Structures are given as structure tokens and as C-alpha cells.
Amino acid sequence: MRNFLVTDILRIISHLILSVIPVISVQSFHTFQLQANAKRISSIDSIEDCRRYIGRKNGKDFILLGEGSNCVFVEDYNGEIVIPKLFGKSIEEDNSNFFVDASASENWHEFVIWLLANKVYGLENLALITGTVGASPIQNIGAYGIEVGQFISSVDYFDLTCGEIKTLDAQACNFGYRDSVFKGS
Ligand SMILES: Cc1cc2nc3c(=O)[nH]c(=O)nc-3n(C[C@H](O)[C@H](O)[C@H](O)COP(=O)(O)OP(=O)(O)OC[C@H]3O[C@@H](n4cnc5c(N)ncnc54)[C@H](O)[C@@H]3O)c2cc1C
């Protein structure tokens, strides 16, 4: 009778643990599609949502993910995967320039195609590069002699240390070959 009770209690406890620590597959969130789990997957669709992560460190406490085309999960991640869902793009022009604004979650290739449809030229060598607009300055994506950093005048970002939106001009972005101030920060 005593043994029966202990077994039952253990069963209940293990059920409770499984209920409060859901295991979520990240397989469909990275292009290699290897099976791995994370503790949690969340999305952020406003600057207010970003405030939840103030003081936490991308890559350590959570992993920020675009389309997962430059990330591979080879094992379970005991943390939170955060996927921005920030969309929007616009074009303004004066006599000599186009001023293009694009949000982080826009698909990069579709963004390039949209620019061409609007007769804004220059990025066509970068068509078909996988991923999002938001990830493009991180490694300063490039192909066929062109790099996105050549066309970026500034990058807005949410500073996790103080919770403010900040802007870096192209020089401060420190673009190099597949490199920028954002890489590893
Ligand atoms: C088939 C293939 C072809 C490719 N060809 C090229 C090429 O020709 N040239 C080239 O330069 N690259 C190329 N790449 C690499 C890839 O396209 C880029 O690294 C791209 O920028 C990844 O975008 P993503 O949204 O998938 O980023 P993810 O893989 O999701 O993330 C990459 C890194 O950026 C960070 N990150 C993502 N989004 C944000 C954000 N909004 N804010 C802050 N950090 C963020 C992530 O934390 C992670 O560290 C290729 C990749 C593949 C798979």
C-alpha cells in the first residue's frame, strides 16, 4: 500500500514537471532543420515587447532569431528563442536620393524585389540571399562585389542595457568583410 502511494506521487510529480517545462521543437525555425528543443519560443511585435529583455544578453539568456538561415541548433537550447515580428517598409525621395526604411522582420529577398519594382536600384546583386532585413547588417551581407553596408546610412536598434532605441550611422556600424559592430554584441 505504501509503495503504491509513493509510485503514484512520483507519477504525479513527473507529470507536473512535464507540464510546467514544455519542450518546444526548434526544427522549423532554422534552415538546417535538425531536431533540437528549446525551453520556450516567443515573438516580439512591438518595442514594448522588447522591454521584457532589458538587462538580458542575446546569445546567453536568450537567442534572437531571424529566419534561422545562419544558425544551426545541434543540441537542445536550455533557454528562450525570441523571434522579432516587426514589419514595414517605406521609400521617400528628394532630387538625388531615395531614403528607404525597412523593419527587421522583412524578408531580405522580397525587400530587394520590392525595391526593384519601385525603381530603386543598387541591391540587385544581393537578391536571393536568405534571411531577414534585421540580420543583414549583423554580418554585412554581401555578394558579387556588393555589401549591404555600402547602402546603409543608419541602423536603429533597441539597446538592451538601457531600454532605449538608438541609431548608429554607417561609420559607427564599422562594417567590414562579413562583419560589423553588431556581430557578437
Ligand atoms: C543558402 C545560403 C546562402 C547564403 N548566401 C549568403 C551570401 O551570399 N552572402 C552573405 O553575406 N550571406 C549569405 N548567407 C548567410 C545568411 O543569408 C545571412 O547571414 C543572413 O543575414 C541571415 O539572416 P537570418 O534572418 O536567417 O538570420 P539568423 O540566422 O536568424 O540570425 C543570424 C544572426 O543574426 C542575429 N539576428 C537575426 N536577426 C536579428 C535582429 N533583428 N536583430 C539583432 N540580431 C539579429 C541572430 O541572433 C544571429 O546571431 C547565406 C546563407 C544560406 C543558408
57 grid coordinates? 544578453
What is the value of pTM for the model shown? 0.89
Can 52 be counted among the known catalytic residues?
no
- Secondary structure E strands in the chain: 24-25, 37-44, 62-64, 77-84, 89-93, 98-102, 142-143, 146-147, 154-159, 164-169
Q: How many CB atoms lie within 10 A of CB 117?
A: 8
Mutate to test the pocket of ligand 1, among 65, 151, 159 (most ligand atoms within 8 A of CB): 65
CA 76 to chain centroid, in Å, comes to: 18
CA 98 to chain centroid, in Å, comes to: 26
Do 116 and 69 share a domain, yes or no? no
Give me the CATH number covering residue 133. 3.30.465.10
Do 97 and 163 share a domain, yes or no? yes
**Residue 20 sits in which domain range?**
2-84
Q: How many domains does the chain have?
A: 2
- Ligand 1 atom closest to 183 (CA): 49
Evaluate: CB of 136 within 6 angstroms of ligand 1.
yes
Do 135 and 149 share a domain, yes or no? yes
What percent of the chain is helix, strand and coil (3-state, nearest 5)?
A: 25, 30, 45
Q: Which of 51, 52, 56, 178 is catalytic?
A: 178
Closest CA to 100 of 84, 127, 119: 119
Atom 1 of ligand 1, nearest CA residue = 130
- pLDDT tens for the chain, 185 residues long, are 455 555 555 555 544 444 445 579 999 999 999 999 999 999 999 989 999 999 988 888 899 999 999 999 999 999 999 999 999 999 999 999 999 999 999 999 999 999 999 999 999 999 999 999 999 999 999 999 999 999 999 999 999 999 999 999 999 999 999 999 998 77
